[in-house]
Amino acid sequence: MDLGIKGKTALVTASSGGMGRNIAHSLAAEGANVVLFARSEDKLKAVAGEITQQHGVRAVAKVGDMRVGNDVTALIELMKAEFGGLDILVLNTPRPPNPIRETTEEVDMARWDEAYQNQLAGVVQVVSQAMPLITARGWGRVIAITSASVKAPMAHHSLSTVFRAGVTAYMKHLANEVGASGVTVNCVAPALIETPHRAGSAAYSPAQAEARKKLTPLGRMGTQSELAGVVTFLASVQAGFITGATIPVEGGMVGSLF
């Protein structure tokens, strides 16, 4: 299937590793040029090199913090200069503060402020500056990576749930406002996806890791490529009648009907 995004320009935030990196690779495999934006210069340059070598598209790395207005402005100017605009915006964000805690133990307001800046404020900052580039082209895709906890809150994840639910509401408002410009806006809500930081973490014992697999009818964890594939489809021409939606990628873990 031709997804129709060859030659399009995609921006992926928080793309120096993990989900962001894999999403950038998936978009590039379909022929999209990619702009990578994150705080780690060495990692960003490495990912850009991988993408160019493996997929033969343009990959531009821009170091910056999506929470900082001047950094985002510099990113916008780079995209104007290098690509003349933007077609696809994937809003990945840094992880909430560690360690995860019970909600009643989340009494440190600095952690709440950090989670707000990472999960919600940075998204608003990027969208507010990037959206004119997308709407000017009369076609576009905006995809925010949230969490399955926005549909069914998970224990110890209040910092993530509260602000990612805010992102979900923001994306719904945005979808209603920019649809007439040919732009779709959706969220992808993952859970139980294998990630490098989890693989190297002592957060789960072997027994706990096995128990987590049983949380889904499929009896396994999801892969990075499965998540990236859903994001890439939502970026495609074929997904043109999907907007304002939250697509779960959690193996059926959430038991709700909708």
Whole-model pTM: value is 0.94
On the question of pLDDT at 17 being above 50, the answer is yes
Give me the pLDDT at residue 198, please. Answer: 53
Q: Which residue has the higher pLDDT, 156 or 85?
A: 85
> β-strand 33-38 against 9-13: which pairing, if any?
parallel
CATH topology of domain 9-249: Rossmann fold (3.40.50)
Give me the pLDDT at residue 101, please. Answer: 81
Spell out the residues 6+ positions from residue 84 whose beta carbon is closer than 8 angstroms to its own. none
Give me the pLDDT at residue 237, please. Answer: 98
Instruction: Give the model's confidence band at 202: pLDDT under 50 very low, under 70 low, under 90 confident, else very high.
Output: very low
Give me the pLDDT at residue 201, please. Answer: 46
Give me the pLDDT at residue 16, please. Answer: 97
Q: Any idea where the domains of the chain sit in the sequence? A: 9-249
Give residue-wise pLDDT tens across range 116-174. 999 999 999 999 999 999 999 999 999 999 999 999 888 888 998 999 999 999 999 99
Q: Is the Cβ–Cβ distance between 188 and 168 less than 8 Å?
A: no
Task: Tell me the torsion sign for CA atoms 118, 124, 128, 130.
Answer: positive
- Tell me the backbone φ, ψ of residue 192, rounded to 5 degrees: 55, 35
